[in-house]
Amino acid sequence: MAGDGRVQRQSVDGALEARVGQVLNDFLDRRERGEQVSEAELLAQHPDLTVDLREHLDLLRDIEPTRHALVELLNRGILAQSADTRYQGRLGPYQVVGLLGRGGMGVVLKAYEERLNRTVALKLLRPELTSDKTALARFEREAKAAAGLQHPNIVAVHAIGEENGTHFIVMEFVSGPTLAALVRKEGPLPAERVRVLFGQILAGLKAAHDAGLVHRDIKSSNILLHGPEQNVKIADFGLARMLSAETRMTMNGSVFGTPTYMSPEQARGDENIDHRTDLYSAGVVLYEMLTGRVPFRADASSALIHAILNTEPPDPRALRTSADKHLSRLALRLMAKERGDRFSAAVDALTALEQGRGVRLRWSNRFRRRMLGAVCLVASVTCLLWAASSYLLPLKLTKVGVGIDNDKATPRIEARWGSNLEFEEFYTFPPAAGFVASVEKVDPGPGYETIVLASTHAPVDGKSLFAFRAGRVSDERHKPFWSESLFRPFQWPDTTVTEFCTGPILASNYDGNAGEEVVLIASDQNQYPSYIALFDPRELTIRARYWHIGNLNEIVIAPDFLGPGRPAIIALGINNKLDGFLEQRADDPRPLASFDWVSVLMILDINEMKGERLINIPNARGRMPDLPPVLPYAYAFLNAAPNKTVLYVDPMTRESRDPNVDPEDGEVLCFAVPSIASCSGSGPSGSCIQVSLHRGPAPTSGGAVLWLDSDFVVRGFDPLASERAFRTKEPWLERFKPLVVQSKYVGSSQ
């Protein structure tokens, strides 16, 4: 009876724990991939889990303060001060170079091992993962076994250790990206490249399985690509087994597996997990390389697990017609629901891959029974559906997105209804639209119908913002019932405004009342200006419009950021007028920036946004259209070129010249990827703006992460570049120039 009670308790609590764990795991994985995602957005997306999520987010911040800022790790005694000023800290014999990332298991640091003169990766384990002595002992046994496994396609485990209560693993340092990042950047991969990469994955699994090791958490983010040839390195052998202990499903309500890649036996919670679960997960990775997406996607973990257990994955060629037939069938064979219908070993799958022979798909007994039942029922079900079709209720719209063809956005809106995991066409604009720039499902609140709000890259009949009803009753509902032009007939200096399109559209309940509000960006396609608008989805009108002399491209909505009931908009982009105007006048002030384009970051107090205003920067005095000026809550820029094409402006003569800037000297810098993160001592909200600083045009050029409070005071700094000149915050902050703080102009020195 006691055992039955325990099972019942686990069944009641387990569903909630699993869902909370999946939400947290996806949140951490997205941040690790560099996606723009904040805690506020996470809580807004899962209002029924707010209490549980806040508890675990607090725990994560306690374990990984200010997203693992190294200074905080030093302050908490996790790292010791290094006697060598070239390093950020020390952990035992390892000199810490910088932060590599984080995940559900803990922090990953780049370090230097002086004794062996080599660079290594240190994975610091979360305390929950080491508090269970049984789990820790099992982990140590398997980590030692993994350390004895030497294979070119597996990240080598050099050692395990413990320092002042912090358990860590010393691993081979791999400098390349993850396979997840590669697919996210490039989309579906060419067949020949897939064959090479997947062959290396199977070779690594074969070596591990031959040594008696089962990974249990194969996924694209655990597959690293090493060196110029981007050879596969499978990471984290031995870690997943640790989660098979009693703590696996109950670590303070968190689950750190990855249901997206789970085999059916893992999703059921079977205890007898063998090497064929790795083959299933590898099949999901192969599917992802072929199509650019995983076979099953759902907002709730329960729906995802249901699909893994009960739904056959669609053929990759149904999602991408150019997908290789042989590789597609190989992926489906590996993802068979029943273990006996998969390959019996990694070597068999590797042989099938290398020989390029046909892969026979095996129907499980359950599938045969379903097919027999389907044959018996198809006629009666068809008749019933035909008879009842006029009485069927429309399914609820659950998600919308931009159509993608051949890795390019199209003028098509796609949607999902009910529990359906597949997107289908919702509406297609004429070719003149170019592509759908942004689309969002908006719930205006009680008494209002849910709508779909979309914008196009180019105007269609002069209109570029469109509203649709969210129903699925007939094709007639899939036509815009409202549209609006975003163009405003102002004359701007040094430019000819042509036509406007929108950037991001964000829907958020930022005022605390029932129903969502909308924030959007509109920009001139070719030059400047741009504006941030507050859109009323109930009245279908723009109620506030703040103009900016430059292009804006990213926004984040931060409820309560400036205090209780004071939401803020965090925006970044460029300003191309801080260097003055093309036609100079004798009374012009000295240019604020040394380049004709500079990267900017601003904060707007949503409660203060009213009517139509011009965001006033001192250099713009007397030169803009007749709009009431307004200072943002805060405004700053980087006094550096965002790319190599911009002009340098001599601050004394105001003469422009080609910058001849080399990214290697650190002069090409820009803001990117804003989000909201916890940050102690940061003001009324307890949050900071987390913003990336990139060297050159892409994150791969290196950079850093800054944590700024609402007054642009630097609360944290993490170097992401290993270059000597940019491992401290001073070179960055020399170029960081606040102009406005608390709606007051503070100026900026050159």
Residue 151, domain CATH: 1.10.510.10
Nearest alpha carbon to residue 342 among 332, 357, 354: 332
| 3-state helix vs strand vs coil in the chain, percent to 5 | 30, 30, 40
pLDDT band of 132, cuts 50, 70, 90 = low
Q: Is the pLDDT of residue 109 over 50?
A: yes
Q: What's the whole-number mean pLDDT along residues 154-158?
A: 89
Q: Domain for residue 406, yes or no?
A: yes
Tokens 């009517």, residue located: 611
Band of pLDDT at residue 216, cut at 50, 70 and 90: confident
Helix (H) or strand (E) holding 561: none
Q: How many domains does the chain have?
A: 3
- Residue 92 class from Cβ within 10 Å (0-12 exposed, 13-18 middle, 19+ buried)? middle
Q: Which of 119, 127, 350, 153 is nearest to 237 (CA)?
A: 153
Rounded Cα–Cα distance for residues 651 and 19 (Å): 56
**530 and 591 share one domain:** no
Q: Do 600 and 735 share a domain, yes or no?
A: yes
Q: Which of these is catalytic: 29, 52, 132, 217?
A: 217
Helix axis angle, 191-210 to 325-334, nearest 10°: 30
Q: Stretch 71-87: mean pLDDT, rounded?
A: 81
Classify residue 52 by its DSSP letter: H
Domain boundary among 294, 327, 355: 355
Q: Are 303 and 440 part of one and the same domain?
A: no
Q: Give the DSSP per-residue string, 667-705.
A: -BEEEEEEEEEE-TT-STTSEEEEEEEEESSSGGG-EEE
The answer on 543 and 404 residing in a single domain is: yes
**Phi (first) and psi of residue 244, to 5 degrees:** -85, 0
DSSP 452-481: EEEEEEEEETTEEEEEEE---S-GGGSS-S
Domain boundary (302, 321, 355) is at 355
Q: pTM (2 decimals)? A: 0.51
pLDDT at residue number 238: 57
349 and 423 housed in the same domain: no
For residue 61, is pLDDT > 60? no
The Cα 247–Cα 133 span in angstroms is 10
Identify the domain containing residue 544 by its residue range: 399-548
In the predicted structure, residue 656 carries a pLDDT above the cut 70: no
Distance CA 10, CA 350 (A): 39
pLDDT tens digits, residue range 387-419? 444 344 457 888 898 887 776 778 999 998 877
- 379 is a domain residue: no
Say whether pLDDT at 550 is over 70. yes
Helix (H) or strand (E) holding 156: none
Structure tokens at 582: 């093309």
Q: How many CB atoms lie within 10 A of CB 718?
A: 22
Per the annotation, the verdict on 217 as an active-site residue is yes
Mean pLDDT over residues 496-501, rounded? 71
Whether 313 and 409 share a structural domain = no
Q: What is the mean pLDDT of residues 210-221?
A: 87
Tokens linked to 599 = 């990267």
Contacts of 613 (CB under 8 A, 6+ apart): 544, 545, 546, 547, 627, 628, 629, 630
Q: What's the CA dihedral at 70, 95, 731, 73 to 10 degrees?
A: 10
**Inside any domain, residue 539:** yes
Domain membership flag for residue 260? yes
Give buried/exposed letters for 673-707 (b at 16+ CB in 10 A, else e).
Answer: bbbbbbbeebbebebbbbbbbbbbeeeebbbbbbb
Do residues 515 and 443 touch, judged by C-beta distance below 8 A?
yes
Domain match, 222 and 348 both: yes
pLDDT at 374: 47
Same domain, yes or no: 230 and 332: yes
pLDDT top residue among 461 and 580: 461
Instruction: Name, in order, each residue with C-beta under 8 angstroms of 176's C-beta and a sequence gap of 6 or more.
Output: 224, 225, 226, 227, 230
246 vs 511, more confident: 511
Residues 81 and 216 in one domain: yes
Structure confidence at residue 123 (pLDDT): 84
Residue ending a domain, choose from 324, 355, 386: 355
Same structural domain, 164 and 48 = yes
Residue 506 token pair: 């964000």
Q: What is the 3-state secondary structure (H, E, C) of 300-344?
A: CHHHHHHHHHHCCCCCHHHHCCCCCHHHHHHHHHHCCCCHHHCCC
Please indicate, yes or no, if residue 612 is contained in any of the structural domains. no
Distance of CA 342 to the CA centre of its chain: 32
114 domain residue, yes or no: yes
Residues 328, 456, single domain; the answer is no
Q: Which of 249, 250, 251 is nearest to 259 (CA)?
A: 249
Q: Is 720 in contact with 706 (CB distance < 8 Å)?
A: no
Cα end-to-end distance, the chain, whole Å: 76
Same domain flag for 337 and 420 = no
pLDDT band at residue 686 using 50, 70 and 90 as cut-offs: confident
Longest dimension (CA), the chain: 91
Which range in 552-566, 616-630, 724-738 is most confidently predicted, on average pLDDT?
552-566
Segment holding 183, helix H or strand E: helix 179-186
Cα 471 from Cα 451, distance rounded (Å): 9
Q: Is residue 701 part of a domain?
A: yes
* Exposed / middle / buried, residue 564 (Cβ in 10 Å: 0-12, 13-18, 19+): exposed
Strands 106-113 vs 648-649: parallel, antiparallel or unpaired: unpaired
Strand 669-678 vs strand 482-484: parallel, antiparallel, or unpaired? unpaired
Give the domain CATH number at 417. Answer: 2.130.10.10
